[in-house]
Amino acid sequence: MQLFTERFYSAILDSIDCGVFTTDLDYRITAFNRAASLITGFSKKEAVGSYCYEILRSNICQTDCLLKKTFQKKHAISNIQVDILSKSGKLVPVMISTNLLKNEENDIIGGIEMFRDIGLIEELRKEVKKKYNYEDIASKNYHILKIFDILPDIADSDANVLIQGPSGTGKELFARAIHNTGKKKDGPFIAVNCGALPDSLLESELFGHEKGAFTDALRKKPGRFAAACGGTIFLDEIGDTSPALQVKLLRVIQEKAFEPLGSVETVHTDARVIAATNKDLYSLVQEGSFREDLYYRLNVIKIDLPPLLDRKEDIPLLVDSFIRKYNRLMNKEIEGISEDGLTVLMNYDYPGNIRELENIIEHAFVMAKGKYIDVHHFSDDLKKTIVQRPPEGGLELLEKDAIVNTLRMFDGNKSQTAEYLNIDRTTLWRKMKKYGIA
């Protein structure tokens, strides 16, 4: 009878598609099912009698054993993701749950651990993340995704890059992403705001100076170009520089050499130059306020970033990213944003772009006491815009943006757009009419 019972339970365990093993109170394995063998690579014969940490070999076995916690706290633990090392040496991501094993008298006689391979799920998650993320930049916008496609090639080159876009669109974030994935990633990333300093101070900041070069030069100071050797220098708001400084920038970009203020010695630099502006540099060239030769030196590769108004489908992604950021910074546990709150954010025009959206979320974090951000956590200025213009539904706006972006992707081809969105062509026509999409 006992043999029959053991076979019966063994058959049940082997019919389960997730790995299951049991242990005694000394953590020695007493049962090991077929799925556990497939996931770990160890046979039942190898596993039974061994310590569980010798077979499972997870990254928490020695430091944070879940079975040990279950024995100590006398309750189950559910769905903890860990990595295990299979017999062949392959890392396998699994989701683990543990519980106590009791006899008929309700005495604890051991533990049971269940684990399932989530490798495929993780691969899919990584693919989705890879598709919509580049470094710290997240987007589902068609225009930004096209930029993602070429960023690896841009990063692999040494070419100068010009990033144009309205203030607050994340130009420095793109510059850092290019640096962090490029040949000079191990070198420094030096950022300079060319619009924040007067010419005399900016020249000293960029090229450095010798002691006594001017009244306040009490000691020798290396410039930002020297500091960026082996790395990248990011010249933000390049359109605000004077014609005189533009001449000196042209020389350092062309010849990779400059003289610090008050020095006759030439300093060489191999820093890669990434420039950014919120102005149309070509228009400034035509007006005569920006040097044409410098423009073409900088504009080897140009990246145009759209305002947030033109990539509203990214707002939920950005909000989620900022919530994670401020949870860490403020030691809070905000879980998300209400549907009404998201609807308001989807219908706002964002003159300050992504930077303004981040400020809105930071303000809401300060005000929020519960688990979710809601409309009443927004600033009074933002709430006034809601009164002035009743918002559309947030989900409808997402649908509209998805249709517009897919139409762009297929150059206006409605059949391909309908097929991609998995809707009928007549449904597409109806929705285009509803949202006023020409």
CA–CA separation, 108 vs 285, rounded Å?
81
Q: Which CATH number fits domain 394-435: 2.60.40, 1.10.10, 1.10.3430, 1.10.760?
A: 1.10.10
- Span(s) in the chain for CATH 3.40.50.300: 138-304
Q: From residue 34, give the alpha-carbon distance in Å to each of 43, 71, 381, 403.
A: 8, 25, 62, 48
What's the CATH number for 138-304? 3.40.50.300
Q: What is the pTM of this model?
A: 0.63
CA–CA separation, 22 vs 28, rounded Å?
8
- Span(s) in the chain for CATH 1.10.10: 394-435
Architecture field, domain 308-388:
Orthogonal Bundle (1.10)
For 143-169, letters b (16+ CB in 10 Å) and e give ebeebbeebeebbeeeebbbbbbbebb
What's the CATH number for 2-117? 3.30.450.20
- Span(s) in the chain for CATH 3.30.450.20: 2-117
- Tens-digit pLDDT profile for the chain (438 aa)? 344 445 556 666 777 778 899 999 999 999 999 889 999 999 999 999 999 999 989 888 888 899 999 999 888 888 788 889 999 988 888 889 899 988 888 889 999 999 988 876 666 666 656 667 888 888 888 899 899 999 999 999 999 999 999 999 999 999 999 999 999 999 999 999 998 888 778 888 898 877 755 666 667 788 899 999 999 999 999 999 999 999 999 999 999 998 888 777 888 899 999 999 999 999 999 999 999 999 999 999 999 999 999 998 899 889 988 998 999 999 888 988 988 888 889 888 899 999 999 999 999 999 998 889 998 899 988 877 765 444 445 456 667 777 887 787 777 888 888 877 778 888 888 888 888 887
Alpha-helical segments (H) within 74-141: 119-132
In the three-class reduction of DSSP (H, G, I as helix; E, B as strand; rest coil), residue 314 is classed as: helix
- The torsion angles phi and psi of 380, rounded to 5 degrees, stand at -60, -35
CB-CB neighbours of 254 under 10 Å: 11
Say if residues 231 and 138 touch (Cβ distance below 8 Å). Answer: no
